[in-house]
Structure 1
Amino acid sequence: MYNRLYLLGVVLISAMFFLPSCDNGDGIEAESSKMPDQVSYNFHIRPILSDNCFACHGPDANKREAGLRLDIAEEAYKALKETPGAHGWVPGKPDESEAYRRLISDDPSIQMPPPESNLKLTDREIRLIEKWIRQGAEYEKHWAFVPPISSKLPEVDDENWPKNEVDFFILAKLEESGLKPNEESDKEALLKRASLDLTGLPPTLEMMDEFLADNSAEAYEKAIDRLLSSPTYGEKMAVYWMDLARFADSHGFQDDSYRSQWPWRDWVIHAFNKNMPYDQFITWQLAGDLLPNATKEQILATGFNRNHKITEEGGVVDEEYRVMYVTDRTNTVGKSLMGITMECAACHDHKYDPISQKEYYSFFSFFNNIKEKGIESSVGGPETYAKRPLMEISNAEVDSILTFINKKDTLDLIVSVMGELDSIRPTYVLDRGVYDRQTVEVQATTPESILSFGPKYEKNRLGLAKWMFNRENPLTARVFVNQIWQEIFGRGIVSTPGDFGMQGALPTHPELLDWLAVDLMENGWNIKRLVRHMVTSATYRQSAVVSKKKLEKDPDNLLLSRAPRHRIKAEFVRDVILASSGLLNPEIGGPSVKPYQPAGLWEGATSGRGILSVYKQDHHEKLYRRGLYNFIKRTVPPPAMIIFDGSNRDQCEVQRPITNTPLQALVMLNDPTVLEASRVLAGKILKESKDSEANIQKAFRMIVCRTPTEQELGILKRYYDGRIQGLNEADAKELLAVGEYPNPPGLDTIQLASLMQVIVSIYNLEETISKT
């Protein structure tokens, strides 16, 4: 009976609280159909052609019809083979442009797109194409391959709303669309949002009280600066970088034994906390070992490109797997640092972006000269912990030059790093990407369409890093700015952060993206400055309330007329639970840990060999470490993390999905960590006070980070009173028998179990694990 009542209470409370808020009045005008003064091929025409025309008249020669190709200017302008004297586009003359004439035709036999395709251009799209032709039908180089320039801040009607430059770009687009931004969020919600975004942790009661009591004009900025200076900032930022760098604690593949890359993770946390400039942060990771008189720290940073999967299975072909590792590094750098789908050119010329297969293997060459093998040892051998080339770290070095490494209770450290061969390994174009089908030899260089590599750079990874941070490189700053924007606002200005190419999404605010990119470069690639600029904007400070009209006009909040509202990442769900309950172990860095996990998962998915064949749960303070430090075995990743959309780190991931599934609710209702945290928090609160209403209010503030309304408090109090009446001693003891953390002595068992269940219910509120 008590389980049914418990579930009923959770359902009622969860249903009542925190559905997205709506109001009716924001005075939205009808969407403007105003035509742009200057029609852009990149931003106006190409999206129309891509959606409606390129399937038959685009880059795929096998599907191209009528010999007409519309994605390349010279092809689109030339005479058509099947219609003598006709041309796809005739600059300045829509009536003589055969493609346009067919777009506006009512004759089904010549109409384009053909009626059977179920595609049809809108009147506005046709008018855009007509105006573009009249203006010269000019094709443009792809926007992402043109170096960013800092445009003048746009003019806005409401000059009082912007707090910094970001807001002018956002507000200009809102006003153009007939929308108004939301009012600033209340202080409690704003502090929680900023704390989650900058540290991954909820604010403490002390932080909340201090912020609420500070009525100065600088109160918010002061709070932001405190959060940015906290060492937990580096841990929060490191979560995103672990996905991008495909960091894990095992090698992957079937045997999937242990690897000791965690000192590299300690370095990443350290680099973010000391605010290492982004150009240095990346240069060290790409080529720290090639810097003059490279230090141990610089070499350690190159672990970034040794985080890929490594086989330990017998019978594999050494060269096949070595090539696989080089391919992984090539694709990871392309996707994570350049926002380009380089992998599409491994087997043939890129179908959509101007990157040839030869250019792919020329880029591949930068990573092909490492002193490594495809297979080096069997499971359980001494090289299990890292694969050559490797770096050993001594106690003396941790005490002196690598003080950021948390080496407590660990053996000598071995980390896989980058290291060049003494000679140059030749690189060849591989026919269809097959490791042993070498064709022509190539030299290290970069795609010409992005930025010429030129003779001034070394033909190695250090030269590549210098090329990436050339002021004329169009991608590096844009891609990073977009990733940070995605971390703060939930969606990038370019919603495809790993694809800035032709098939990627267009930026919603291209001028803002470029302004931020240029500002980053001109201010020393300062990461904290970039983050601060975003979180102190009026755009960021808006309420998340959404009106019906805004929901209809901008359902995905692309224009940012309100603050985004979405579930936080898997690691931070764990962090919120541990931090709010007081269980969190604040230790920074060190080896990964193995918290509670359902029995038998590892054992059922292993070859039975190696030191990771059996799951050995950690105990004591290790159970309460942040989600960042959860042990990730690639073949059997942490189940709670995966249910909350965590990555198994098989490959570079620059964007996690955001979901809300029944399985996530089951985790929050049954995970031992949630239940233990609820029990521990209940015990701590009861130790201080026996006032049930005050205790519930305190728990609510600690978990949800705001004061509950009278209605909310009343519901929770009635639920608590019902538990007091409904629980017997045996049931209460059963509920409390979860987790290793001891109960405080001297407390009433039924009161403790009742408050525990109320707290479980609060943890299960949508608002608790959402950023609002």
Structure 2
Amino acid sequence: MKGIILSAFIIFLAVVIWQACSDKSTQTDTVLASKSNKIDFNYQVKPILSDKCFACHGPDEKKRDSGLRLDTEEGAFMALKSDPHTFAIVRGNPEQSMLVKRIFSEDPTFRMPPAESNLVLTEEEKNILKRWIEQGAEYKKHWAFIPPQKAKLPEKQFDEWGNNEIDRFIGVKLKEHGFSPSKPADKERLIRRVSFDLTGLPPSLEQMDAFLKDESPQAYEKMVDQLLASTAYGERWANYWLDVARYGDSHGYQDDLPRIMWPWRDWVIHAFNKNLPYDQFVTWQLAGDLLPDATKEQILASGFNRNHKITQEGGVIPEEYRTEYVADRTNTFGKAFLGMSVECSRCHDHKYDPILQKDFFSIYAFFNKVKEKGLIGYYELPKPSITITQSDLKDVLKFVNGSTIGSKDTVSVMVMSDDEPRKTFVLNRGEYDKPTEVEVKPSTPAAIMPFDSTVYGANRLGLTKWLFDARNPLTSRVMVNRLWQEMFGRGIVATSEDFGNQGTLPSHPELLDYLAVDFREHGWDIKYLLKKMVMSATYQQSSATSKELREKDPDNVWLARSARYRLNGEMIRDNVLFTSGLLNPEIGGPSVKPYQPEGIWEAIAAGRKDRGEMGYIQDNGPKLYRRSLYTYWRKTIPPPSMLIFDAAMKEICEVRRVRTSTPLQALNLLNDPQILEASRVLGSQLLEKHTLSTEQKIEQAFRKIVSRRPTEKEVEILMDGYTSELSRFKAQPLLAKKFLNVGAYPQNEKLDPVACAAMMHVVSMIYNLDEAISKS
């Protein structure tokens, strides 16, 4: 098992590296594909400087060579230190610009970038820089740091195509690149797509039939409204937010003992379902405890900040780990809400982005006032915390599923509470025991937007006011891009975790800015924005493609078709539970422990049996069939079936999952007891329908799982499989009983085990179809 986990990790790492390279190549292709005569600094010049020059001539003063700084206008036009009469860039005069001379030089000792950097400029990149200087070498602020503005809506590009503003912007890019939109998806595939996207579950047979029968122009919109109103909507989006919040049911580190944070998860589900505006959703999580007359709900929401790992290991230095907790909250803030890798500035000034080490510790100062310990004892509740009582469950916290809390019991949850102000100093190399003499106050990177403590307040609540100031260029863009990523499979900015100089440029910058402003103007209404996306003609396109389209736009950047990709692990498992009728629809409550390979905790855990968490004790009954959102997540030993399908580790904030395709996934689908049990249960249910023929039973199984009617050829293939398996099991009845002996759900002893095994095999085949685990 250790070997399997190691192999999976190596594959995962390789895919991450491949994805990063793919993202960068896409950015370069986008930049160099521009046909504009006017060279644009942000979209053509800056990516070249960032990739090939900023490491030595960028924001990091300690790594800056020759004193030349190309990331700022002031630095780029200063005289060179080596010769006060020479300049790297002379506006309008490339012949006098040392930058041009050196990048075009044939002398390897003089040419830039230097040979030892292993960086090379292409001829096209050199010519872009030269033409830019000829045109006056105009500098612009980084695109993501310029507040978004609504561009004028483009004219319709295709007469018979387009539903809303999104399609106007998409149409311009399609026409620009020589594409036409695809035809609309058929109704069966469309309802499956939108159902998974909005609720994380497939449509029921009843929903499909009603949608297919409804021929009114409003049929699709009515279905969208129904899905948005479903309680499953909150669970689907809470599942995404748990990655961002690095949620887990244990403390992490060596012994990794359990913690209670599930009431905070219940709040997240509740917040999404009641459509809490995004500005409030974030404010409560970052600073709910600091709101005037804060309610217990708002204080509970602040538990977001406490989802980081906490150590219980003897012998550690408490202050070292307390520092790590504060740094984790700082890193999470940067990635989750700014789309910036601020952690790069903990040890030194950022090499590519204008975020100084001082900036990192200025953000750090907001989170450095919590009265917490770096080391807690075994089973000790980390402070600060709140206690949830029976009275709370009947009142302000009635959304918390307290069914497991006894009438006299309470449950305590980690939250935020500031102590007396603690001085914050820049730490040399970010090390806890090496404070410098540079004291910092709570603040933010000036390059993004200056922070005025007299206006906002020098605490976490002030930080949220800065975050949702209409002038903040990042907050709305970042969230719009994440929602787009979840709907379309790829963000408008593909690197949704990095809006900095090393991130990809937006494929549709005017659209991103339009939606960012629109989102803010409509009260940060997430359901409003999601509905706009799914109502667009762009979203409703067919995913069918052609060889030409795949070759010209393999990553579907320009959206001439709908995206097709594998569902995440939670959706795959939940689809199995839902379509088999096994899904327990209960919302909220403590995490549960469904099927898991035996011995994993014992083989990997370093804990002792007397600490109660060395062995995995599987749940029984309805708990086995809860949505995957509620699966117990031990930070050091996550559920292997989820990791196989690229779930985030939840040790740090993650905003974008990679997608891999490995043999382990196929093996899981074929052998996972949850899937085999569901196949048995659904197969038995079909056999109980005596009024249906075998073909009709198989067709119904296919419809449930794949959300469309099978073709005649598909029914023929599945019938052949059923007939073949029926003959095999008739010849080996003991094999049939062994095949059926999976899962805890009781078997119907009245049914013929041979027929049950054959039908179970057919259902399993359908669950293993590529279409069954894909969004198309």
By the TM > 0.5 criterion, same fold? yes
For the pair 1:770 / 2:774, whether they are aligned, the reply is yes
1-side partners of 2:126 and 2:604: how far apart? 56
Instruction: Pick one of 756, 759, 763 that aligns with 1:759.
Output: 763
Deviation of 1:457 after TM superposition, in Å, equals 1.5
String of CA shifts for 1:530-555, please: whole Å, max 9, x gaps. Answer: 11111111111111112111111111
Alignment of 1:599-748 (within 5 A): 599-606=598-605, 607-608=607-608, 609-689=610-690, 691-727=693-729, 728-748=732-752
**Secondary structure of the residue that 1:400 maps to in structure 2?**
coil
2-side partners of 1:474 and 1:519: how far apart? 14
| Equivalence for 2:296 | 296
Structure 1 stretch 668-677 or stretch 453-462: which is displaced more? 453-462
**Secondary structure of the residue that 1:693 maps to in structure 2?**
helix
Alignment of 1:523-562 (within 5 A): 523-562=522-561
Structure 1 stretch 302-311 or stretch 640-649: which is displaced more? 640-649
Cα–Cα, structure 1 residues 731 and 189, in superposed 2: closer, same or farther, change >3 Å? same
Instruction: Pick one of 421, 435, 440 that aligns with 1:438.
Output: 435
| Equivalence for 1:505 | 504
String of CA shifts for 1:45-80, please: whole Å, max 9, x gaps. Answer: 111233344455445667666664433333332334
Kindly provide the amino acid, as one letter, of the partner of residue 320 in structure 2: E
Deviation of 1:324 after TM superposition, in Å, equals 1.0
2-side partners of 1:493 and 1:446: how far apart? 26
Kindly provide the amino acid, as one letter, of the partner of residue 595 in structure 1: P
In structure 1, runs of 5+ residues without a counterpart are 1-30
**Secondary structure of the residue that 1:49 maps to in structure 2?**
helix
Kindly provide the amino acid, as one letter, of the partner of residue 520 in structure 2: M
Deviation of 1:369 after TM superposition, in Å, equals 0.7
For the pair 1:273 / 2:268, whether they are aligned, the reply is no
| Equivalence for 2:332 | 332
Contact 1:453 1:467 in 2 (8 A): yes
Deviation of 1:37 after TM superposition, in Å, equals 4.7
Kindly provide the amino acid, as one letter, of the partner of residue 196 in structure 1: F
Deviation of 1:231 after TM superposition, in Å, equals 0.4
| Equivalence for 1:6 | none
String of CA shifts for 1:618-653, please: whole Å, max 9, x gaps. Answer: 000000000100000111111101111112211111
**Secondary structure of the residue that 1:602 maps to in structure 2?**
helix
**Secondary structure of the residue that 1:373 maps to in structure 2?**
coil
Kindly provide the amino acid, as one letter, of the partner of residue 725 in structure 2: R
Deviation of 1:241 after TM superposition, in Å, equals 0.3
Identity score, percent: 54
Contact 1:355 1:447 in 2 (8 A): yes
Contact 1:632 1:648 in 2 (8 A): no
Cα–Cα, structure 1 residues 256 and 735, in superposed 2: closer, same or farther, change >3 Å? same
2-side partners of 1:498 and 1:726: how far apart? 52
1-side partners of 2:330 and 2:70: how far apart? 31
Contact 2:59 2:354 in 1 (8 A): no
String of CA shifts for 1:395-439, please: whole Å, max 9, x gaps. Answer: 121112211111112352111000111x21111111111112222
Deviation of 1:109 after TM superposition, in Å, equals 6.7
Contact 1:678 1:757 in 2 (8 A): yes
Contact 1:477 1:520 in 2 (8 A): yes
Deviation of 1:676 after TM superposition, in Å, equals 0.2
Cα–Cα, structure 1 residues 618 and 47, in superposed 2: closer, same or farther, change >3 Å? same
2-side partners of 1:111 and 1:356: how far apart? 30
| Equivalence for 2:367 | 367
Deviation of 1:96 after TM superposition, in Å, equals 2.8
Deviation of 1:97 after TM superposition, in Å, equals 2.4
Contact 2:235 2:269 in 1 (8 A): yes
Kindly provide the amino acid, as one letter, of the partner of residue 721 in structure 1: T
| Equivalence for 1:215 | 215
Deviation of 1:155 after TM superposition, in Å, equals 2.9
| Equivalence for 1:595 | 594
For the pair 1:287 / 2:284, whether they are aligned, the reply is no
Deviation of 1:104 after TM superposition, in Å, equals 4.7
| Equivalence for 1:416 | 414
String of CA shifts for 1:599-620, please: whole Å, max 9, x gaps. Answer: 1111222221422222111000
Kindly provide the amino acid, as one letter, of the partner of residue 509 in structure 1: H
Contact 2:54 2:351 in 1 (8 A): no
String of CA shifts for 1:478-517, please: whole Å, max 9, x gaps. Answer: 1111111111111111111221111111111111111111
String of CA shifts for 1:713-743, please: whole Å, max 9, x gaps. Answer: 1111101100111112111100000001111
Deviation of 1:120 after TM superposition, in Å, equals 5.6
Tell me the number of residue pairs that the alignment of Structure 1 and Structure 2 aligns: 736
1-side partners of 2:528 and 2:554: how far apart? 31
Contact 2:32 2:44 in 1 (8 A): no
2-side partners of 1:58 and 1:297: how far apart? 45
Kindly provide the amino acid, as one letter, of the partner of residue 565 in structure 1: R
**Secondary structure of the residue that 1:768 maps to in structure 2?**
helix
Contact 2:50 2:501 in 1 (8 A): no
Cα–Cα, structure 1 residues 138 and 465, in superposed 2: closer, same or farther, change >3 Å? same
Contact 2:50 2:352 in 1 (8 A): no
Contact 2:569 2:642 in 1 (8 A): yes
Deviation of 1:598 after TM superposition, in Å, equals 1.1
Contact 2:60 2:348 in 1 (8 A): no
Deviation of 1:93 after TM superposition, in Å, equals 2.1
2-side partners of 1:126 and 1:233: how far apart? 50
Cα–Cα, structure 1 residues 328 and 212, in superposed 2: closer, same or farther, change >3 Å? same
For the pair 1:227 / 2:227, whether they are aligned, the reply is yes
Contact 1:32 1:176 in 2 (8 A): no
Cα–Cα, structure 1 residues 108 and 389, in superposed 2: closer, same or farther, change >3 Å? closer
Structure 1 stretch 600-609 or stretch 103-112: which is displaced more? 103-112
| Equivalence for 2:259 | 259
Deviation of 1:391 after TM superposition, in Å, equals 0.7
1-side partners of 2:195 and 2:34: how far apart? 41
In structure 2, runs of 5+ residues without a counterpart are 1-30
